[in-house]
Amino acid sequence: MAEPYMRVEGLVKRFGPFTALGGVDLEVYPGEVHALLGDNGAGKSTLIKTLAGVHEPTEGQIYIEGKPVQFRSPRDASDAGIGTVYQDLALNQLMSVTRNFFMGREMKTAFGTLKMDEMDQIAHDEMLKIGIDFSDPTQAVGTMSGGQRQTLAIARAIYFGAKVLILDEPTSALGQKQQMEVLKTVMRVRKRGDIAIIFITHNEIHSRLIADRYTFLALGKVIGAETRETLQHDEMRRLMAGGAEMADLEQELAAI
Ligand SMILES: Nc1ncnc2c1ncn2[C@@H]1O[C@H](COP(=O)(O)OP(=O)(O)OP(=O)(O)O)[C@@H](O)[C@H]1O
Ligand SMILES: [Mg+2]
């Protein structure tokens, strides 16, 4: 069995007196999709912001390839191979696909001019590798579909060295067909075998289609850690509901 690329032990995050994460353990393996599930307010975003260097943990330890690490900034996390694609994607709609791809990391000649042709080619090729043939990367991002934008953000994270790719609800704002396109992109990244993917979702069906491992959060704690093989359908519904018996809720609903 492969070593986890990243391991998290006893991660605690407090905001003043409020405990958003109450001791979370997590392991992510290259070539696997790890679904992170839980209801609103469970702590999913807080967990990934801690992994991405946005928040400093109050307690606990993050390990990369077995070595303890401290992230003091998003830059530290990114240098350690943590690539995060947030829900808003941080894209500038008015600028071209290529300019967005290379935002802040432009390729320049010795004279300081942009190597536009080279960057256009790379942006095109990198997106094609994970699923979209966007033939004209000089077009504005505003002309892309929502699914294509996700693919752009994912391709960019990988090109700039992500070994852990964190996707925060990448399908939630999309129509059904585009959701499937994004899942296909995720599976192509998985197939490379060298990248660990953390996939945050509310959607049971999506996680079932792609995930190798599952971690369920509720009120900042892990209430279930399962694999594709161990996760039972009823158990999933119970865990998605934060541990409350879904059947009870359904009975209450039926009794109204
Ligand atoms: N900066 C902050 N200061 C204080 N409380 C916070 C802060 N960030 C998050 N919280 C609280 O921590 C808890 C977990 O929030 P978080 O955003 O991590 O949940 P989530 O699982 O991502 O939920 P959602 O599915 O709604 O995105 C919530 O109760 C939230 O109000
Ligand atoms: Mg969230």
Class in CATH terms, 6-92+162-255:
alpha beta
Ligand 2 centroid to Cα of residue 52, in Å, is 14
Break the chain into its structural domains and give their ranges.
6-92+162-255
What residues pair up with 227 in beta bridges, in sequence order?
A: 213
Residue 110's φ and ψ, nearest 5 degrees, are: -60, -25
Smallest CA separation from ligand 1 atom 10, residue: 20
> Which of 14, 18, 24, 166, when mutated, tests ligand 1's pocket best, judged by the most ligand atoms within 8 Å of its CB?
18
| Ligand 1 within 6 A of CB of 34 | no
112, HSE (Cβ side, Cα atoms, 13 Å):
0
Ligand 2 centroid to Cα of residue 77, in Å, is 19
75-126 pLDDT, tens digit each: 999 999 999 998 777 788 899 999 999 998 999 999 999 999 999 999 999 9
Ligand 2 centroid to Cα of residue 200, in Å, is 8
Nearest atom (ligand 1) to Cα of 44? 21
Nearest atom (ligand 1) to Cα of 43? 18
The residue assigned the tokens 């999309």 is 174
Alpha carbon separation from 195 to 30, 81, 138, 192, 202 (Å, rounded): 5, 10, 28, 7, 22
| Ligand 1 within 6 A of CB of 46 | yes
Which residues, given as ranges, of the chain have pLDDT below 70? Answer: 1, 244-247
Smallest CA separation from ligand 1 atom 6, residue: 15
- CA atoms of 242 and 1, how far apart (whole Å): 30
Ligand 1 centroid to Cα of residue 41, in Å, is 5
> Which of 12, 13, 14, 15, when mutated, tests ligand 1's pocket best, judged by the most ligand atoms within 8 Å of its CB?
15
Collect all residues with Cβ–Cβ distance below 8 Å to 26 and sequence separation of at least 6.
6, 7, 8, 11, 34, 36, 47, 215, 222
- CA atoms of 210 and 104, how far apart (whole Å): 32
| Ligand 1 within 6 A of CB of 16 | no
| Ligand 1 within 6 A of CB of 131 | no
Ligand 2 centroid to Cα of residue 193, in Å, is 27
H or E element, residue 144: none
Give residue 231's identity as a one-letter amino acid code: L
The residue assigned the tokens 């001791």 is 23
Nearest atom (ligand 1) to Cα of 202? 25
